[in-house]
């Protein structure tokens, strides 16, 4: 093992003694899927109540040593983020609006009683990891390196309180195109019994527990031939909230859009925010407001609503083909064509992959062309 201290940063670097071979990596990068393979290194930073954040380091990717009494294993004091690094045609590597992920991570931390990781440290972590594992990006279209920062309470203690010892990690996983044969539309299950988040709860935080609660409804969706779940609001059971891990938009026949207004039960997606800004720059009207399921179903029946789509970092954006529940099935006509949805998707990915130049600073350079 080689231990190097870079004078230019506080990160210590322990390089992997067994990095992937070029051949193995190329095979993986040709068909990475999603979340199956991981790069050679990871970021680890510890925090204690006494010392704060200390000793940021890059270490070989590998298993964690966790005491069985670690708070996170019992009380789910855990948060995460998800963002992608994209390689542009000249070989340089970029993150898309990572400061929004850093800010959201801080908000999630506050809600979960975890310490705030300074934004600079969040951004540096990503930069360091992508720098050392840059070989894991390729020029294959629609591929990226998915970055998963997360924070867990690793204090050994079974009492119930916020941890006084936690750890932050970033791991990276090559991601292929979400749809192997081009973007297709997806049937969605409208959950009648389960909700995702309540007023005053943790819905706006990207925390592990929110996902745990969404898995049984997801199993129900799968049993009913659907790929994802649309959750309604917990109070009335009437208003659209979001999917388990994606936000939702409605497209009207006049080309305008609507999406549920943010609240403490909806996660503020970076993709959602970007789509709103791209659509507005395009001259489209975008309303952020309360949207009832009844209103959407009526709009689909009378032709006012022409498209529905879901969006999030992992899948980017896909049109919804069917809304299905125990009591109804509504098909969206021509969901495969979904002109407005797919044009917004194209505009977003053109920016992310550097195919169009942006005047705003949505892209954050991680490495230059020669690494």
Indicate the residue among 82 and 255 with the shorter CB distance to ligand PLP. 82
Q: Is 126 or 246 the residue whose CB approaches ligand PLP more closely?
A: 246
Query: CB of 61 within 8 A of CB of 202?
Result: no
CB of 231 to ligand PLP, least distance (A): 9
Q: How far apart are CA 1 and CA 14, in angstroms?
A: 7
Residues that bind ligand PLP (CB under 6 A): 82, 206, 242, 245-247, 267, 269-272, 312-313
- Give first-to-last CA distance, the chain, whole Å: 22
Closest CB 197 distance from ligand PLP, rounded Å: 8
CA gap 93, 124 in Å, rounded? 14
Distance of closest approach, residue 310 Cβ to ligand PLP, in angstroms: 9
Please state at what angle helix 270-281 crosses helix 339-352, rounded to 10 degrees: 110
- Smaller CB separation from ligand PLP, 157 or 211: 211
Query: Between residues 53 and 211, which has the closer beta carbon with respect to ligand PLP?
Result: 211
Q: Are strands 41-48 and 78-80 parallel, antiparallel or unpaired?
A: unpaired
- Of 133 and 241, the one with the shorter C-beta distance to ligand PLP is 241
Provide the minimum distance between the beta carbon of 186 and ligand PLP in the complex, in angstroms, as a whole number: 15
Q: Least separation, in Å, of the C-beta of 167 and ligand PLP? A: 21
> How distant, in Å, are the alpha carbons of 79, 137, 146, 350, 371 from that of 90?
34, 13, 20, 15, 11
Least gap, CB of 272 to ligand PLP (angstroms):
6
Q: CA–CA separation, 225 vs 211, rounded Å?
A: 20
Closest approach, Cβ 313 to ligand PLP, in A, equals 3
CB of 214 to ligand PLP, least distance (A): 8
Q: Based on CB atoms, which residue is closest to ligand PLP, 147 or 323?
A: 147
- What is the rounded distance in angstroms from the CA atom of residue 119 to the CA atom of residue 212? 27
The answer to whether 79 touches 116, Cβ cutoff 8 Å, is no
Residue burial 328-353, b: 16+ Cβ < 10 Å; e: rest: eebebeebeebebbbebbebbbebbb
Measured from the CB atom, is 119 or 371 closer to ligand PLP?
A: 119
Please say which residue, 247 or 367, places its beta carbon nearer to ligand PLP.
247
Task: Give the start-end residues of each E strand in the chain.
Answer: 3-5, 12-14, 41-48, 52-60, 78-80, 83-87, 93-96, 144-153, 165-175, 186-190, 228-232, 240-243, 247-252, 257-260, 286-289, 305-312, 316-324, 329-331, 363-367
């Amino acid at each position: 093992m080689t231990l190097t201290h870079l004078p230019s940063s506080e990160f210590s670097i322990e390089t992997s003694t067994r990095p992937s071979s070029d051949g193995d990596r190329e095979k993986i990068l040709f068909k990475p899927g999603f979340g199956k393979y991981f790069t050679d290194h990871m970021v680890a930073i510890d925090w204690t109540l006494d010392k704060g954040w200390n000793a940021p380091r890059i270490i070989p990717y590998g298993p964690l040593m966790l005491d069985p009494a670690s708070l996170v294993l019992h009380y789910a004091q855990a948060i995460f983020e998800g963002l992608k690094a994209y390689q542009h045609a000249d070989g340089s590597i970029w993150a898309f609006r990572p400061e929004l992920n850093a800010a959201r991570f801080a908000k999630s931390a506050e809600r979960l009683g975890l310490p705030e990781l300074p934004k600079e440290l969040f951004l540096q972590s990503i930069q360091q990891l992508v720098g050392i594992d840059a070989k894991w990006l390729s020029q294959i279209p629609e591929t990226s390196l998915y970055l998963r920062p997360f924070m867990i309470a690793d204090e050994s203690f079974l009492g119930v309180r916020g941890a006084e010892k936690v750890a932050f990690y970033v791991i990276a996983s090559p991601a292929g195109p979400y749809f192997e044969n081009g973007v297709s539309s997806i049937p969605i299950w409208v959950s009648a019994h389960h909700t995702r988040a309540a007023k005053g709860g943790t819905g706006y935080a990207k925390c592990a527990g929110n996902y745990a609660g969404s898995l049984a409804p997801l199993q129900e969706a799968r049993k009913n031939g659907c790929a994802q779940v649309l959750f309604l609001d917990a109070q009335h059971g009437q208003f659209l909230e979001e999917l388990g891990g994606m936000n939702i938009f409605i497209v009207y026949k006049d080309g305008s859009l609507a999406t549920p207004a943010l609240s403490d039960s909806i996660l503020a997606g970076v993709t959602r925010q970007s789509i709103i800004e791209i659509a507005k720059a395009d001259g489209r009207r975008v309303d952020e407001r309360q949207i009832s399921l009844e209103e959407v179903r009526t709009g689909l029946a009378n032709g006012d609503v022409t498209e529905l789509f879901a969006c999030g970092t992992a899948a980017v954006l896909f049109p919804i083909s069917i809304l299905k529940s125990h009591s109804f099935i509504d098909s969206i006509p021509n969901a495969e064509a979904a002109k407005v949805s797919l044009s917004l998707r194209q505009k977003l990915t053109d920016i992310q992959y550097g195919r169009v130049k942006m005047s705003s600073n949505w892209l954050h350079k991680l490495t230059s062309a020669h690494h």
